[in-house]
A and B are shown apart, each in its own frame.
Chain A
Amino acid sequence: MLSGALLLGSSFLASAVEMVEALTIVLAVGLTHNWRTALLGVLAGFLALAAVVAALGPSLVHYVPINALRVGVGVLLLIFGLQWLRKAILRAAGLKAQHDEAQIFERELAELRGGAAGGQAVDWTGFVVSFKGVFLEGLEVAFIVLTFGTNSGRFDLAAAGALLAFVIVGATGAVVHRPLARVPENAIKFTVGLALVSFGTFWGGEGIGVKWAAGDATIVILAAIYGLSAAAIINLLQRSAPPLPAVGGGSG
C-alpha cells in the first residue's frame, strides 16, 4: 500500500517534469512553424517510444531473473536519481542556473525562427525538433515506468502515474499555449531524485540479498536519510561558495 502510493507519486512527478520539458519544445515548434509540423513530430515521437517500450518491456519481465533485474535496475535508478539530485542540490544552493522553462522557450523560439518556413506545409526542421523533444524526454519517462513496473510488479501503478501526468500537462499546454513556467521544477526534481535513489537502494539491495529490516517502510526511511543529507549538503555549499547570478537556462 505504502510502496504503491510512493510508486504512483514518483512515476507521476518524474513524468510530469519530463513532459513539461517536451511540451516547451513542442509549443516552440507550433508557434514558430505550424501546429501540423509540431503535432506530426509528437505523433512520430510517441510511435518511436511505443516501439521501444514494446521491445524492452516484455523481454525484461520474461527473460531476466528477478534478482538480476533488481540489481541492474537498482544501479540505473541510483545513477539516474543521483544525477537529478545533484543538479537539484546545485540549483537549490544557487551554484547552477534554475531550469527556467520560459527562458528555454524563448531560446527555442529564437533558434527556430531562423529556419521557419511558415504556412501549413510540414517543415522538416520543426518536425525533427518536435520529434526529438518528445522522444528523448519520453525515453526518460519510459525508463522510469519500465524500471518501476518490472521491479514492483505493478506496471499498472507506474503507467497510471505517467498517464495522469500526460493528461494534466497535455491539457494545461493545450489550454494555455505557453510554457508552464510556474511549475516548481527544481523542487519536483529534488523530490523525484530522492525517490529514485531510495527505490534504487531498496531494490538494488534486495537484488544482492540484503533483507531490509523495516520491509517496504525502508523506502521512506531511506528517503528521509537522503533528504536530510541533501539539505545538509545544500547548507554547506551555500556557505562555502558565492551563488551564481540568476540568469540562464541549461538542460536536464
Chain B
Amino acid sequence: MRWVIGFGRFWWDFIVGDSIILAVGGIVVLALGLALARAGDGTAAQFVLPATVVGTLGVSLHLR
C-alpha cells in the first residue's frame, strides 16, 4: 500500500508540481482551443491559446 501511495505521489509531484492551477490551466487552454477550432474559428484560437497560457501563468503567480 505504501508503495502505491509513493508511486502516486511521485507522479502527482512530477505532473502537478507546486501549482495545480498550471495543471488545470494546461488542460483548459487546449479545451478552449478545441471548442473554437470545432466551431470553425481557427483564427480566434490562434490568439486565444497564447492569451490563456499567459493568463494561467499570471493567475498561478498571483495566487502563490
Contacts and interface: CB of A to CB of B under 8 A. Distances in A.
Interface of A: 71, 74-76, 78-79, 82-83, 85-87, 89-90, 95, 139, 197, 200-201, 204-205, 207-213, 222, 225-226, 229-230, 233, 237, 252
A83 B14 CA distance: 10
Contacts of A211: 42
Contacts, number: 95
Interface string B10-44: 00001111110011011101100110011000110
Contacts of A89: 57, 61
A67 B30 CA distance: 13
Given A90-B64, A209-B42, A229 B37 contact: no
Given A74-B30, A210-B46, A252-B17, A233 B53 contact: no
Given A222-B50, A226-B54, A210 B33 contact: yes
Given A78-B29, A87-B18, A226-B53, A205 B60 contact: no
Contact of B37 (A82, A95, A210, A230): A210
Interface residues of chain A: helix, strand, loop or mixed (majority): helix
A226 B61 contact: no
Interface residues of B, number: 31
Interface of B: 14-19, 22-23, 25-27, 29-30, 33-34, 37-38, 42-43, 45-46, 49-50, 53-54, 56-58, 60-61, 64
A201 B34 contact: no
A8 B50 CA distance: 23
A242 to B, nearest CB: 14
A85 B19 contact: no
Contact of A212 (B14, B38, B46, B64): B46
A82 B60 contact: yes
Nearest to B44: A210
A71 B42 contact: no
A233 to B, nearest CB: 6
A86 B29 contact: no
Contact of B57 (A85, A95, A205): A85
Given A83-B18, A83-B22, A90 B42 contact: no
Given A78-B29, A201-B53, A233-B57, 18 more contacts: A75-B27, A75-B30, A78-B30, A79-B17, A79-B26, A82-B22, A83-B19, A83-B22, A90-B61, A205-B45, A205-B49, A208-B30, A209-B34, A210-B33, A210-B49, A212-B46, A229-B54, A229-B57
